[in-house]
Each structure stands twice: as structure tokens, then as C-alpha cells.
Amino acid sequence: MLGAMVSEELAMRVFLTGATGFIGSTLIPELKAAGHDVLGLARSDENAARLEAMGVGVHRGDLTAPETLAAGAAACDATIHCGFIHDFSRFMENIAIDRAAVEAMLAAMEGSGKPFLLTSGVLMVDAGREATEEDAPSLEGPGAGRGATELAAQAFAERGVRAMIVRLPQVHDTEKQGLVSYAIEIAREKGVSAYVGDGSNRWAAAHVSDVARLYRLALEKGEAGACYHAVGESGVPMRAVAEAVGKRVGVPTVSIAPDEAFAHFGFVGMFALRDAPVSSRLTRERLGWAPTGPGLIADLEARQAAAV
């Protein structure tokens, strides 16, 4: 469900990176329906044409050229940073590129009071329990780089930017499911859908329509320095995920030992062992956000049912 129209004086021109991506392309109609104008980052002619077809202004630039992002942020009333280079073979390099891009945009907004929403991930937190919005990001392990970017963004809340963090879980619809999409490809390649140990470890999840609505609410109502969790389901057991993936792909579901996780999953092995339930209670209370979309397993099974 799209948001209610904001008053004309509250409508913003929003610079959106990752505008043609999975979340960005869902966020655009959410923002437009609420009365906001969108200026989308486009790296290629193809992406520019897609944005124009959606009725969105085009700002040519690239995540690897921070000055182009700074110009986009300076030209708008707010910035939502959804862009990231999802090449996990160069993960640390891409984190450094993201950090430079974030710092350039924030520097261009310093002292303006404009909203800036940084996209991060709930797997960047290593709480050892159900993580909350008040937990600091981990500065060790696989989440360290993006955790440091969170802290860099939040520091600008003291420098005249309404900087906020949106932490994402496994964001899904029937076509895409975050890291689970990689697990689907691995299951096709290896002929089995695997989980680690007894599969009781959990990943948080949310439907992409709910995530888009949260970004819009944070843009309109969020507070400087705040962290919001776009979590619809606190923790989906990985055995249930593996079983749904197995049915979807048509392969058996098997358990593997923890020391086999990296060999089987590749880079996803960094997270396959994690038990990472996440709360969004504070986000719901503070923003009035109430997720209504289908659950992760329902979306995996819906695609399987459609294929049959």
C-alpha cells in the first residue's frame, strides 16, 4: 500500500542512488505517490531510460565517482542511498567505494539539516541475541566495513545533517530474496539445498513493499542519528528456508557440517552459520510502521506454486 500524500510544503526532491535496483525501483512509486519528486542516479543510458519511463529525473553519475554523487545530493532536499556494488568477490574494495561515496554526499549536505538515509544491513550487527535498533554495528568480522560506514554517517548527525541508518534483512518478493537468491543458485549448481547443523539459526526478512514504505516514513518522520530496522520477520529458521529452496529448485534438502559451510556456500558461508534474529519494535513504535507483506517462505513457495 502506497503512502498518503504529504502536504505541498513537506514534499521533497529526493536524490536516490540505486534507483533502478530491486529496492530503489519499488521505492520510487512509494515516494511519488506521497508527493515527493525523485532524482535517480543512472550510470548507463539503459538505466537513464528506465528512470525516464518511470517519470523520474535523471542524474548521471557512478558510485566510483564520488563527486557525481555529491552534486546530486547538493541539488536535492534529501538523499536516500540504496546503491551498492554487489560483487562479493571484491567485497572489501566495494565497501571502500561505498564509504567514499557516503562521505562525499554527507560533506555536500553538511549544515543543511537535510535528511540522509544510509542503507546498511542487520547482519552488520553481532549482538549474540535478538538485535535491536540501539545496538552498534560490529567493527569485527564480515560486517566490519559497513559497520564503520554506519558510524561515519551517524557522525554527521552532529554536523547539521539529519543522517539516519536503515538496516535491511533479507528483502524479498517472489523473484528476489536477498542472500537467499544466491542460495537458490547454489542449490541448482550443486543439486542439493543445504542448511548448517540442525538449521535452527535464523535470518530476519521483510517484503520489499514494506521496506519501501519504511524508507518513506523515515524520510518524513525520522530523527537525526536514529537507526531503523526494516524487519518484518524477526528470524526465519534456515532449515525452513533450505526446505523451501529445495522444493522450488526440485532438489533434496540436506544438512552440512559447520566446517563445510564455506566450501558449499562460497561467500554466503560468512553468514550461513549466523543466528541473527532482529527486532523492529522500536522502528514500528517510532515511525508507525506496520509491515503487511507476505513472509519469506510464502514468497519462495508462491514462485514454486506458479511454476507448477
Per-residue pLDDT of the chain (308 residues; tens, 9 = 90+): 455 677 666 899 999 999 999 999 999 999 999 999 999 999 999 999 999 999 999 999 999 999 999 999 999 999 999 999 888 778 889 999 999 999 999 999 999 999 999 999 998 888 789 999 999 998 877 667 888 999 999 999 999 999 999 999 999 999 999 999 999 999 999 999 999 999 999 999 999 999 999 999 999 999 999 999 999 999 999 999 999 999 999 999 999 999 999 999 998 888 888 999 999 999 999 999 999 999 999 999 996 554 44
Query: What is d(CA 120, CA 68) in angstroms, rounded to the nearest whole number?
Result: 21
| DSSP-assigned beta bridge partners for residue 193 | 253
| DSSP-assigned beta bridge partners for residue 207 | 172
pLDDT of 271:
86
How big is the chain, counted in residues?
Answer: 308
pLDDT of 303:
63
Question: Is residue 100 within 8 Å of residue 207, measured between CB atoms?
Answer: no
Question: Is residue 73 within 8 Å of residue 79, measured between CB atoms?
Answer: yes
Look at the domain 8-172+205-233+277-293 and name its fold. Rossmann fold (3.40.50)
Neighbours of 16 (CB within 10 A): 32
Closest Cα to residue 165, out of 52, 72, 78, 80?
A: 80
Closest Cα to residue 61, out of 91, 94, 39, 31?
A: 39
Sheet holding 162-168, edge to edge: 57-60, 37-42, 13-17, 78-81, 115-121, 162-168, 227-229
Domain with CATH 3.40.50.720 in the chain: 8-172+205-233+277-293
**Is pTM, for the whole model, over 0.75?**
yes
Query: What is d(CA 258, CA 260) in angstroms, rounded to the nearest whole number?
Result: 5
Per-residue buried b or exposed e for 179-190, using 16+ beta carbons within 10 Å of the residue's own CB? bbbbbbebbeee
Neighbours of 199 (CB within 10 A): 18
Torsion sign over Cα 293, 297, 303, 308: negative
H-helix segments, the chain: 22-33, 45-53, 66-74, 91-109, 144-155, 179-190, 208-221, 238-249, 261-265, 269-272, 281-287, 296-307
Q: What are 169's three cell numbers?
A: 534483512
Closest Cα to residue 285, out of 211, 229, 220, 239?
A: 229
pLDDT of 101:
97
For residue 169, the SS3 value is coil
For residue 39, the SS3 value is strand
- In which residue are the cell numbers 525516464 written? 52
